[in-house]
Chain A
Amino acid sequence: MHAIQMRGITKRFGPVVANDHINFDLEQGEIHALLGENGAGKTTLMRILYGLYHADEGEIRVDGEVVHIASPKDAIRLGIGMVTQHFALVPTLSVAENVVLGYTDGFRVEPQAAQQRVAEAAARFGIEVDPAALVRHLSVGERQRVEILKALYRNARILILDEPTAVLVPQEVEVLFETLERLRQGGLSVIFISHKLYEVMTVCDRITVLRDGRVVGTVDKEATSQAELARMMVGRETFGVTRQDGRPQGPVLLRIENLSALDQKGLPALKEVTLEVRAGEILGVAGVSGNGQTELSHVLAGTLKPTEGRVLVGNEDLTGADPARISAAGVGRIPEDRHEGVIGELSVAENLALEYLDEFVKGGRLDHRRIRQHAERLIAEYQIKASPTDRTRTLSGGNMQKVILARALSRNPRVVIASQPTRGLDVGATEYVRSKLLEQRDRGAAVLLLSEDLDEVLALSDRIAVIYEGRIVDVLPASEADVEQLGLMMSGAREGTSARV
């Protein structure tokens, strides 16, 4: 018996096809995983089911009947509930008030009666929360339980959870899994979005794998393995590039020792990372987003202070150094987010000069002529389609990235830190950026490439490190890299990985 059938669902965002003729079935009383890399289209598909987006093509059936879901109101009426990646709770209200909010008959909310009913519902569904507690006093795990209770309270028979474990600590994950299993036995159908293999294998009955907006396949848990899922998820046969092995290796130029750092929320995000990059090589760091790459690049760029460990460039200790010192030490940095690198309201010429401002001062004044000449030279050399006086925010993504590239690479840095250097770029710009990185390598720079795009890591790297939950799982020569193995390590598979150095 199908609770949900989605047929031929297609959704485009401009040129991006986020969902490409997707077929997806959810059976009554199953936990069904939606597995795929970042950007595979999982969230989009579920937002369509919940009425937040509207499909360009395709139909949705609930209990066999074709339905039109125009808004979450319709979805809720059909018994569909969704817990999104970002919670929609009012922190200053109590749990009970949050649960009944927007789902009471009258205008007034009777606090006592609401608490009573919410307490009953919590007991019935076996969800442990205190209805009287204020949401702002709750942990992330507790807030998530409130969201689940909110959906169930609205009589959801089908529950969508979008990457529910991304925000949880391991103990909370255990609790969540127990809750889900109990709810399933009570007849609830669950769609569980994740890109973590072992979680999917732990809690789900069936798994549908998405890649680049298409369904790769649906498999039973019993009939598959983490290795097969990794292959389906990553899905590449060849690397697409032939690399000549045994290129000469220079001395170690970038040395990262036992580096640890906290994320914005103050939680450990980088845990005792140790890496070495030699002159004339590209070390690629592969990983699913949110596994510490951001913090690693911020520490290396000088915008985040590490809590432990050391960073050495050549013999110079740059641990905790500020961006100016790091730049002066010969480190070219390409930030993860372009808007972290350039200031949209300043001109192209100003942005290009900003990192080396001292060189453009003459007698206490800015030498505008030199700033302009400098910009003209780099614009020509890096084929930037802009004039020096253009405001940088008017540039296309590719040209903005070239501005950053020009600033970072024009002084022949010893070490290059490139974070997601081609994210969001079109094919031409992507090619250009990659060729520039290879040029730096050939020139003898030590290049550290952080990328979520496994193809990119495979195409460019001499050695590949895999990062998972802030730790380096393994470092291996690119010639030995095996997509399946990498996929497993990136998704935190707990089998088949051997720690090598």
Chain B
Amino acid sequence: MLGFKIERAAAPIWMRSLIPVIAILVTFILTATLVIMAGANPLEAYRYFLIAPLSSQVSALEVLVKSTPLLLTGASVAFAFAAGYWNIGSEGQLYAGAIAAAWLGIILEGVPSVVAIPLMLVGGFAAGVLWALPPALLKVKLAVDEVVTTLLLNSVILFIVSALLNGPWRDPVSGWPQSPEIAASTVFPRLIPRSRLHLGFIVALLTIAALWFILSRTALGLKMRAAGLGQEAARFAGVNVENTILTAALVSGGIAGLAGVGEVAGIHFHLIEAISPGYGYTGIIIATLGGLHAVGVGLAAIFIGLIDTGAQTVSRALGVPVYLGDVVQATLLLVTLGLFILQNYRIKRA
């Protein structure tokens, strides 16, 4: 016999709230080897990752720019996960929102901004909802696994975008596979002059606030959490689990759609294939790291935005590949997930 046994027992509260901090430390220890192999000093590298981006106003604002879509996709994923709906499709739903924004940005030519911009947001939200609808319906009506369907739809919409950009929407001026530039009245206003920070950041913050409000202050939120934490018991208590999950899935899609609108109307001003370098997938990391809690999601999104910005600085300053940032993120996710599982156990002397 081993002399030790493992039993199920939840970790104390203080330890749970330390998990993100522990995860970050463990991640840095694990990735240090890679940094060394890339020929850089790990401490130096982490200074660039974490501190350098915050040392000037320009780059600090750039962190918030990077965080904008991440706040939204993180909120999108958290909203679905809270109800136990494993939406892996925020990436695709973001593209749906981006397509809608690119389209509305053309046809709303001449409409004043006060009308056009709300329409852009509503349209992008609706497009995200629409793209989230088929897998959500399949889930609640036929119990088809949403992980598979939402994931597959991500590739489908990429093909649609590609078809649009190489076909009807190809920019007649430049001939590049990108949609024509959106009308000036539909462009999101800048929040601070000479920075790229745009209206989408405010939308993202409001969304995070809404996430908090809905989850903790409304009946829908309680039903969602009940369905997510104990589906059978929720059903027993009279919660309409199917409707609740459907609502959560669709709102989640809508939020991801907003992220797409922000990228089109705030950053690129037209649709391109590479509008998202995987913001939807990063949203999963953010939602998990943030413990599906609004405040946690907000902090995690800004943290990941920081690392993303930092990765570029590191690679420029130390000559290591930009991909190192992705490796750090992925490691962080795995470590966090591992800690979330491990916190439910403790080792005891037998």
Binding site for B on A (CB under 8 A): 301-303, 322-324, 327, 333, 335, 339-346, 350-351, 353-355, 357-358, 360-361, 364-366, 368, 393, 407
**Is there an interface contact between B234 and A343, defined as CB atoms closer than 8 Å?**
yes
B233 CB-CB contact with A under 8 Å = yes
**Is there an interface contact between B225 and A366, defined as CB atoms closer than 8 Å?**
no
What are the residues of chain A within 8 A of B234 when measuring CB–CB?
343, 354
Specify which of A327, A344, A345, A366 is in contact with B218 (CB 8 Å cutoff): A366
B236 CB-CB contact with A under 8 Å = yes
B324 CB-CB contact with A under 8 Å = no
Given the complex of chains A and B, what is the CA–CA distance between A302 and B240 in angstroms? 12
**Is there an interface contact between A303 and B235, defined as CB atoms closer than 8 Å?**
yes
What are the residues of chain B within 8 A of A351 when measuring CB–CB?
237
Specify which of B218, B237, B239 is in contact with A364 (CB 8 Å cutoff): B218
Q: How far is the CB of B123 from chain A (nearest CB, A)?
A: 25
What are the residues of chain A within 8 A of B237 when measuring CB–CB?
323, 327, 341, 351, 354-355, 407
**Is there an interface contact between A345 and B230, defined as CB atoms closer than 8 Å?**
yes
Using C-beta atoms within 8 Å of the partner chain, give the interface range for chain B. Answer: 20 to 34
Known A357-B223, A360-B219; contact A335-B230, beta-carbon cutoff 8 A: no
Specify which of B222, B230, B232, B235 is in contact with A366 (CB 8 Å cutoff): B222
| B 16-45 contacts with A by CB, 8 A | none
Residue on B nearest A368 in the bound complex, by CB = B217
Specify which of B222, B229, B236 is in contact with A341 (CB 8 Å cutoff): B236
Given the complex of chains A and B, what is the CA–CA distance between A302 and B237 in angstroms? 10
**Is there an interface contact between A357 and B219, defined as CB atoms closer than 8 Å?**
yes
Specify which of B222, B229, B232 is in contact with A303 (CB 8 Å cutoff): B232
Q: How far is the CB of A223 from chain B (nearest CB, A)?
A: 45
**Is there an interface contact between A354 and B217, defined as CB atoms closer than 8 Å?**
no
Given the complex of chains A and B, what is the CA–CA distance between A355 and B233 in angstroms? 10
**Is there an interface contact between A365 and B222, defined as CB atoms closer than 8 Å?**
no
What are the residues of chain A within 8 A of B10 when measuring CB–CB?
393
Residue on A nearest B229 in the bound complex, by CB = A345
What are the residues of chain B within 8 A of A333 when measuring CB–CB?
236
Can you list, as one digit per residue, whether each of B299-331 has a CB less than 8 Å from chain A (1) or not (0)?
000000000000000000000000000000000
**Is there an interface contact between B219 and A343, defined as CB atoms closer than 8 Å?**
no
What are the residues of chain A within 8 A of B219 when measuring CB–CB?
357-358, 360-361, 366
Q: How far is the CB of A341 from chain B (nearest CB, A)?
A: 6
**Is there an interface contact between B233 and A341, defined as CB atoms closer than 8 Å?**
yes
Can you list, as one digit per residue, whether each of B200-226 has a CB less than 8 Å from chain A (1) or not (0)?
000000000000000001110111011
What are the residues of chain B within 8 A of A303 when measuring CB–CB?
232, 235-236
Which among B219, B234, B237 has the greatest number of chain A C-beta atoms within 10 A? B237
Q: How far is the CB of A327 from chain B (nearest CB, A)?
A: 5
**Is there an interface contact between A350 and B222, defined as CB atoms closer than 8 Å?**
yes
Q: How far is the CB of A146 from chain B (nearest CB, A)?
A: 31
Residue on B nearest A358 in the bound complex, by CB = B219
Known A340-B232, A366-B217; contact A346-B226, beta-carbon cutoff 8 A: yes
Known A350-B222, A365-B217, A365-B218; contact A344-B230, beta-carbon cutoff 8 A: yes
Known A361-B219, A364-B218, A366-B218; contact A354-B229, beta-carbon cutoff 8 A: no
Can you list, as one digit per residue, whether each of B5-17 has a CB less than 8 Å from chain A (1) or not (0)?
0000010000000
**Is there an interface contact between A354 and B226, defined as CB atoms closer than 8 Å?**
yes
Known A323-B236, A324-B240; contact A343-B218, beta-carbon cutoff 8 A: no
| B 39-80 contacts with A by CB, 8 A | none
Given the complex of chains A and B, what is the CA–CA distance between A345 and B344 in angstroms? 13
- Of the A-B pairs whose beta carbons lie under 8 Å apart in the complex, a sample of 15, sorted by A's number, is A322-B238, A327-B237, A333-B236, A346-B229, A353-B222, A354-B226, A354-B238, A355-B237, A357-B222, A361-B219, A364-B218, A365-B218, A366-B218, A366-B219, A368-B217
Q: How far is the CB of B29 from chain A (nearest CB, A)?
A: 31
Given the complex of chains A and B, what is the CA–CA distance between A327 and B235 in angstroms? 12
Residue on B nearest A391 in the bound complex, by CB = B10
Given the complex of chains A and B, what is the CA–CA distance between A335 and B238 in angstroms? 13
Given the complex of chains A and B, what is the CA–CA distance between A323 and B240 in angstroms? 9
What are the residues of chain B within 8 A of A345 when measuring CB–CB?
225, 229-230
Specify which of B217, B218, B233 is in contact with A339 (CB 8 Å cutoff): B233
Given the complex of chains A and B, what is the CA–CA distance between A364 and B226 in angstroms? 18
Task: A324-B239, A393-B10 given; name 6 further pairs at CB < 8 Å.
Answer: A303-B236, A340-B232, A344-B229, A350-B222, A350-B226, A354-B222
What are the residues of chain B within 8 A of A364 when measuring CB–CB?
218
Nearest 9 A/B pairs, CB to CB: A324-B238, A343-B230, A354-B237, A345-B229, A323-B238, A355-B237, A343-B233, A343-B229, A361-B219
What are the residues of chain A within 8 A of B229 when measuring CB–CB?
343-346
What are the residues of chain A within 8 A of B232 when measuring CB–CB?
303, 339-340
Given the complex of chains A and B, what is the CA–CA distance between A322 and B244 in angstroms? 15
Residue on B nearest A338 in the bound complex, by CB = B233
**Is there an interface contact between B239 and A354, defined as CB atoms closer than 8 Å?**
yes
What are the residues of chain B within 8 A of A342 when measuring CB–CB?
230, 233
Given the complex of chains A and B, what is the CA–CA distance between A344 and B219 in angstroms? 18
| B 76-99 contacts with A by CB, 8 A | none
What are the residues of chain B within 8 A of A335 when measuring CB–CB?
236
Q: How far is the CB of A249 from chain B (nearest CB, A)?
A: 31
What are the residues of chain A within 8 A of B240 when measuring CB–CB?
322, 324
What are the residues of chain A within 8 A of B222 when measuring CB–CB?
346, 350, 353-354, 357, 366
What are the residues of chain A within 8 A of B236 when measuring CB–CB?
301-303, 323, 333, 335, 340-341
Given the complex of chains A and B, what is the CA–CA distance between A433 and B160 in angstroms? 61
What are the residues of chain A within 8 A of B225 when measuring CB–CB?
345-346
Given the complex of chains A and B, what is the CA–CA distance between A302 and B235 in angstroms? 9
Which among B221, B230, B232, B234 has the greatest number of chain A C-beta atoms within 10 A? B230
Given the complex of chains A and B, what is the CA–CA distance between A341 and B237 in angstroms? 7
Q: How far is the CB of A218 from chain B (nearest CB, A)?
A: 35
What are the residues of chain B within 8 A of A365 when measuring CB–CB?
217-218
What are the residues of chain B within 8 A of A357 when measuring CB–CB?
219, 222-223, 238-239
Given the complex of chains A and B, what is the CA–CA distance between A343 and B227 in angstroms? 9
Given the complex of chains A and B, what is the CA–CA distance between A341 and B236 in angstroms? 6
Residue on B nearest A352 in the bound complex, by CB = B237
Q: How far is the CB of A18 from chain B (nearest CB, A)?
A: 19
Residue on A nearest B230 in the bound complex, by CB = A343
Residue on B nearest A394 in the bound complex, by CB = B10
What are the residues of chain B within 8 A of A344 when measuring CB–CB?
229-230
Given the complex of chains A and B, what is the CA–CA distance between A75 and B218 in angstroms? 59
What are the residues of chain B within 8 A of A366 when measuring CB–CB?
217-219, 221-222
Given the complex of chains A and B, what is the CA–CA distance between A345 and B233 in angstroms? 11
Given the complex of chains A and B, what is the CA–CA distance between A364 and B213 in angstroms? 11
Given the complex of chains A and B, what is the CA–CA distance between A333 and B229 in angstroms? 21
What are the residues of chain A within 8 A of B239 when measuring CB–CB?
324, 354, 357
